[in-house]
Amino acid sequence: MEEFLLDTINEIRSLKGLSPVTSLQPEMNLRNDLGLSSFDLAELTVRIEDKYDVDIFEDGLINTIGEIFSKLSE
């Protein structure tokens, strides 16, 4: 699951001309640390939903990697 998330985020980053990150830490902020815009986050939710059938933003804002991990382990 962590690998899928890392690959997906890196793909999104590369399309914006950002270099890949080497690993994901739970405290990383999606917008501030990973440079993701609303559009990027929307894409991330859809790709996660296609794979895991979970809409991570369903219950409200998610700001960090750690929050995504928790949502997917529920």
Partner 1 sequence: MIFLYDDEEYTYDDLLSTVNGSGSYYPLFKSKELFPYFANLVKALAAGLPLTLIDSDINPHEIDGLSEDSINAAVAFGEKTYGSVDDLICSLRQSPSEITIFTSGTTGQPKKVVHNISTLTRATKVGEKYAGQVWAFAYNPTHMAGLQVFFQAFENKNTIVNVFGKSRDEIFRQISDRQVTHISATPTFYRMLLPFEQPFGNVVRVTLGGEKSDQHLYDAIGKIFPNAKINNIYASTEAGSLFAAKGDCFQIPSAIRDKIRITDNELLIHKSLLGSSESFHFTDDFYHSGDLIEWVDEAAGLFRFASRKNELVNVGGYKVNPGEVEKAIMELDGVRQALVYGKKNSILGNILCADIQLEADSQLTQLDIRKSLASQLQDFKIPRRIKFVEELSLTRTGKLKRI
Q: Which residues would be at the binding site for partner 1 (CB under 8 A)? A: 11, 15, 38-39, 41-43, 45-47, 50, 55, 57-58
11: left (phi over 0), alpha (psi -120 to 50) or beta: alpha
In DSSP notation, 25-61 reads -TT-BTTTTT---HHHHHHHHHHHHHHHS--TTTTS-
Q: In the bound complex, what is the minimum distance in angstroms from residue 58's beta carbon to partner 1?
A: 6
Nearer to partner 1, 8 or 69 (CB): 8
Nearer to partner 1, 24 or 62 (CB): 62
Tokens standing for residue 12: 């999104």
Q: In the bound complex, what is the minimum distance in angstroms from residue 52's beta carbon to partner 1?
A: 15
Nearer to partner 1, 24 or 56 (CB): 56
